[in-house]
Each structure stands twice: as structure tokens, then as C-alpha cells.
Amino acid sequence: MELFSQNRYDTMKYRACGESGLKLPGVSLGLWHNFGDNASYETIKNLCFTAFNNGVTHFDVANNYGPAPGSAESNLGKLLKNELGAHRDELIISTKAGYLMWPGPYGDGGSRKYLLASLDQSLKRLGLDYVDVFYHHRMDPTTPLEETMGALAHAVASGKALYVGLSNYDGPTLEKATALLKEMHCPFVINQNRYSILDRKIEQNGLKEMSKKLGKGIIAFSPLAQGLLSDRYLNGIPADSRVRTNGYFLKESDLTEERMNQIRALQQIAANRGQTLAQMALAWVLRDEVVTSVVIGASKTEQLLQNLAALNHLEFSPEELAAIDAAVGQ
């Protein structure tokens, strides 16, 4: 019996990562939350199966995703071994290194020692010979950029990664890194950065424009601003919400009356478009071809399916864009 629909690729929209030949689905599944030791394997399996059955070919993870750090990779590795292994060549598996993973001076940053050791550990947890994309997760001002880029190039040359990416870089550093990776003949194809209606830093620091100029893709994380850009908090704070269960990334103090008024105004614009607020927020990030994909998390399959429907309506009128900007004071 077939586990997956033979029509799974029919409705998904795929975009190339900049000027490369690598295509990603418009929506990618991120394993940042809800895929570590705090989640059941059945829940993880149902989410990944639902994603893949709807054309989501890209699963995005990192060495420190959990809790505990490494557990999201281990759970994905179990899934690849038990159920998804036959479809490995249909999948894009990406991982990252840059944040703290083990004690001592070699457990984070951008050194060759840390990056290559971390990649080896990630491959063991994933049960893979290679990942499709290996990212440096954050800029490291204490390590020469040449060393960090050299480590990424070595990851590809050794066959342990097919492409490389950069995460949380700014425009000027991206330009320097691109030149170095080009000299090394390393296939650098994509940047991963936070981007949403409420967080436009990549527009302000030049990253978005620089990516376009250099022919690199962008994959946006936190496109729903940790759930703020949804109907999740319009009628109070649910007991199972991220504010209640993990107040590190989204705090109750973030839900000011000013912010909630902005959310209500955005929801009305979305309703006029025939979308939920979350769908409009995802569509807004994908409104031009500079952004290749949005990476979303999910705790329920219904939530995932609803967000995938954002791809049905990516077009915005100038009036809608102006209304969105006005709603959030841009």
C-alpha cells in the first residue's frame, strides 16, 4: 500500500534558490519546535507525512533543535530510517551549526573545528551520508570569515553536503562571504533569516536586496512572528500557546494593546482577501520572487494544511500592501 499520494507534487509551488538549480517548496517544514524529546514520535510522523503528502519536500533542522539539543535531528533520522528512507532523493534535508552544542571553546561559533565536527555529529543523528544544505547558523566576529567559508567549502568537497547556506547574516557580510565561496567554487545558494510583516530587518540591513543582487535565495523563518500573526491571541492567551509553554521567544509582555490593535487591523485586511491572518502573513513574505520559501513550524496537521493554503493567493494589490504597512506603522 502506498503511504503517499501519487499526486503530492501537483499543487505545490516550487521556486529556485536564486540563480541556482535547486528548487524548494513555497512552504518548508521547520523542526525548531515540537520535534524534540517533548513531542511524541507519532505526532512528528503525522506532521512530516502530512507535509510530504502535500508536496513539502524540504525539512529544515539544526544541530541545537530540541529539546534536548540534537533530538530533533535524531527524531528526523528515525523517521528517515523507518518510513521516509525510500524517498530520500525526493527530499531536501538541511541542517545548521553555529550555536552552542557542547561545553568548551570548540562547541559553538564559526571555527573549522566546530563546524566540521558538528556536521559529523548531525549526520550520525540523521543517519545520512550527506545533507542537501549545510548552513552556518550565525555570524561569528571572533573567527575569520575565510576560515568559516573554508569549512563550508570543505563540507561540500568531502561529500557531506551538496549546497551551503548562511543564516542570520547581514548584507555587507553576505557580500564578502559570497565572494569567498565563489573563489572556492562552493555552491552557496540560500540565506535563512527572520522575516515577517512585523519584522523587516532584512529589508533595513540590506540583506534582501543584496541576496537579489547576488542571485541567492532567501528562506524566511518566523514568518508568523511566533504565532502573533495568526488568530491565536485575538481572544486571550490559550493555555497551550507558546506564551504559556515557552515564554522565551514570545512573552506575554509582547502582547501590548498597540500590538493587538495592529493584529486586529491585519486580520480585517486578510478577511477582505478571503484568507486567514496566518495565510496572508505567509503570502506577504512570498509576494515577490526574492524569497524562495517560508519555513513554518506546526503542532497539529490541521494547522499545517491551513497554512499551506496560503500558496493559493500570493498576489497583493498596491492598496493592500499600503494598508498592511499602515496597519503596522511602516
Per-residue pLDDT of the chain (330 residues; tens, 9 = 90+): 578 989 999 999 999 999 999 999 999 999 998 899 999 999 999 999 999 999 999 999 999 999 999 999 999 999 999 999 999 999 999 999 999 999 999 999 999 999 999 999 999 999 999 999 999 999 999 999 999 999 999 999 999 999 999 999 999 999 999 999 999 999 999 999 999 999 999 999 999 999 999 999 999 999 999 889 988 777 656 555 555 455 546 666 677 888 889 999 999 999 999 999 999 999 999 999 899 999 999 999 999 999 999 999 999 999 999 999 999 988
Name the burial class of residue 26, with classes exposed (0-12), middle (13-18) and buried (19+) by CB atoms within 10 angstroms of its CB. Answer: buried
How is 249-302 classified by DSSP, letter by letter? TS-GGG--HHHHHHHHHHHHHHHHHTS-HHHHHHHHHTSSTTEEEEEE--SSHH
What's the whole-model pTM score?
Answer: 0.94
Residues facing residue 131 across a β-bridge:
161
Angle made by CA atoms 27, 249, 38, in degrees to the nearest 5: 75
CB-based burial of residue 170 (10 Å sphere; 0-12 exposed, 13-18 middle, 19+ buried)?
Answer: middle
The fourth-level CATH superfamily of domain 14-225+285-299 is NADP-dependent oxidoreductase domain (3.20.20.100)
